[in-house]
């Protein structure tokens, strides 16, 4: 290691592991023993957990920098409150360490667990690494120690593990717990009552473990519901392990909406239904959006024979399979829910559930603002299942009522004239300057958004992957820059009289 009078020292962020000195890595032990300066934090009582873990590896003649927090959870009389007191502390602590580094002394800054995992080390790292070299020595986290303490795998296969701070609002904790296979909730202490509430509300309390001071002589492991709220320290966590088998009703069909394309727009409920299914049925490209899971059967088809898909779903469900039929967007909007429910009338023993999702109209609207902010009608231009006369009558009625129109299925390879016919009908009731939003492949790799005047709508710009939103007399369009479609919105108020 370097000494005074030489080049600048190195800052070492040392992960000490969860508490057991024997879980300190070989590298961490070597760096601790050879550093010129060993720095560590503690509360005002002065007892440093980090130093106690590292003590077997200290030389005895090293400089020690004891960094004492001015506050932990209590109220501060600092003019800037708690945040101001901590900001001053971290700035002053960083300067104390910087003085050693400037003098050429290497500093081992100790951190329980891992230095970059919910650690105080990060506050020093961000303040010092612009001026000094820093090296991170990773450590075993409390998550791994807790998993070992209960001797249970956290996750298996494709299961998802979520790490959560217990300081999140209970409603947010509940949402995230409902959307994951397994979870670890850190930073308990005073937040434990809220954590217990979130676990209970998400239906996961009976499956959760409580682990306190993992890997130390004071380690405690118990059911999360058996914990006395008043006895929970900061160094405790709640742990939900992934279920070995996802529970789902057998002999059932769920019609699952995937949303318009982006996986971030898929709901947690849709993801759970897809994970629980034994069989997935749907249009091939839609199934491709669903990750393959071990043991699932996939039944892809083209996008034309919906009754055949519905019949297969009911057949498999009657055999005791758990079937998910996938739909783009929302399954109840010009999609598979109706086809499955029609077929299911002939299968009295088959349960059918419809899992909603974001619609294509909502997705397109979001790209330009809020064109659907007032009353609107949703109409399909496809005349494959209903005659054009019916479509024309509905377009005319909605246009005469001055409603915004969300137009699904505006064109296909074989249907090329309907957009032009619609334009003629609407111009009988709408100003030529009415904005029309053309959304194509929204949230997909080929997304394009364009806004044109109704009079300028060109059917050659519209294909089967498009959705149109036609404004009302009140819809406003503010054009953007050269590469922007601008902003479109329909006010919520409507002129009186």
| The pLDDT of residue 71 | 81
Q: Which helix (H) or strand (E) holds 487?
A: strand 487-489
| The pLDDT of residue 414 | 87
| The pLDDT of residue 5 | 45
| The pLDDT of residue 276 | 87
DSSP letter, residue 250? S
Positions of the chain with pLDDT under 50: 2-5, 245-246
Q: What are the residues whose beta carbons fall under 8 Å from the beta carbon of 230, sequence distance 6 or more?
A: none
**Burial class, 40, CB count within 10 angstroms (exposed 0-12 / middle 13-18 / buried 19+):** buried
**pLDDT tens digits, 107-166:** 999 999 999 999 989 999 999 999 999 999 999 999 999 999 999 889 888 788 999 999
Q: What are the residues whose beta carbons fall under 8 Å from the beta carbon of 489, sequence distance 6 or more?
A: 369, 370, 371, 373, 475, 476
Q: Which helix (H) or strand (E) holds 34?
A: helix 26-34
Beta carbons within 10 angstroms of residue 428's beta carbon = 9
| The pLDDT of residue 73 | 66
| The pLDDT of residue 222 | 94
Q: Are 120 and 13 in contact (CB under 8 A)?
A: no
| The pLDDT of residue 178 | 85
| Measured distance CA(278)–CA(21) in Å, rounded | 46
Pure H helices in 134-267: 142-150, 170-178, 192-201
| The pLDDT of residue 116 | 95
| Measured distance CA(121)–CA(102) in Å, rounded | 19
């Amino acid at each position: 290691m370097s000494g005074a009078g030489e080049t600048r020292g190195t800052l070492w962020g040392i992960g000490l592991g969860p508490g057991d000195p024997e879980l300190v890595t070989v590298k961490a032990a070597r760096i601790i023993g050879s550093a010129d300066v060993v720095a560590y934090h503690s509360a005002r009582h002065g007892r440093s957990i980090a130093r106690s873990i590292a003590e077997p590896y200290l030389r005895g003649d090293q400089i020690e920098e004891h960094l004492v927090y001015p506050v932990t959870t209590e109220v501060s009389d600092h003019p800037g409150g708690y945040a101001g007191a901590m900001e001053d502390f971290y700035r002053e602590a960083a300067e104390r360490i910087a003085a050693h580094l400037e003098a050429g002394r290497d500093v081992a800054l100790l951190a329980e667990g891992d230095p970059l995992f919910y650690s105080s080390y990060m506050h020093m790292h961000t303040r010092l690494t612009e001026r000094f070299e820093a090296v991170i020595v990773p450590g075993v986290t409390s998550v791994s120690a807790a998993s070992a303490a209960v001797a249970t795998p956290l996750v298996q296969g494709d299961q998802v593990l979520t790490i959560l701070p217990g300081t999140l609002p209970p409603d947010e904790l509940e949402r995230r717990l409902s959307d994951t296979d397994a979870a670890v909730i850190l930073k308990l202490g005073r937040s434990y009552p809220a954590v217990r509430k979130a676990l209970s509300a998400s239906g996961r309390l009976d499956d959760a473990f409580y682990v306190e001071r993992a890997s130390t002589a004071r380690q405690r492991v118990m059911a999360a519901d058996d914990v006395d709220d008043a006895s929970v320290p900061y160094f405790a966590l709640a742990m939900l392990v992934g279920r070995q088998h996802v529970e789902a009703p057998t002999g059932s069909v769920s019609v699952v909406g995937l949303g318009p394309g982006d996986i971030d727009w898929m709901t947690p409920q849709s993801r759970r239904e897809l994970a629980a299914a034994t069989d997935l049925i749907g249009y091939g490209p839609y199934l491709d959006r669903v990750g393959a899971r071990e043991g699932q059967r996939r039944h892809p088809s083209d996008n034309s024979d919906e009754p055949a898909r519905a019949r297969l779903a009911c057949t498999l469900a009657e055999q005791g399979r758990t079937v998910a039929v996938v739909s783009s967007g929302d399954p109840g909007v010009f999609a598979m829910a109706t086809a499955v429910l029609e077929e299911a009338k002939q299968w009295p023993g088959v349960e059918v559930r419809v899992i909603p999702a974001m619609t294509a109209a909502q997705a397109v609207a979001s790209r330009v603002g809020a064109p659907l902010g007032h009353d609107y009608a949703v109409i399909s231009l496809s005349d494959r299942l209903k005659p054009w006369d019916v479509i024309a009558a509905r377009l005319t009625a909605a246009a005469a009522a001055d409603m915004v129109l969300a137009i699904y299925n505006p064109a296909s390879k074989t249907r090329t004239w309907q957009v032009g016919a619609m334009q003629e009908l609407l111009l009988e009731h709408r100003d030529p300057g009415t904005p029309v939003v053309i959304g194509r492949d929204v949230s997909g790799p080929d997304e394009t958004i364009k806004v044109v005047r109704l009079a300028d709508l060109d059917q050659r710009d519209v294909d089967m992957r498009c959705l149109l939103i036609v404004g009302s007399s009140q819809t406003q369009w503010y054009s953007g820059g050269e590469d922007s479609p601008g902003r479109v919105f329909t006010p919520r108020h409507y002129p009186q009289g």
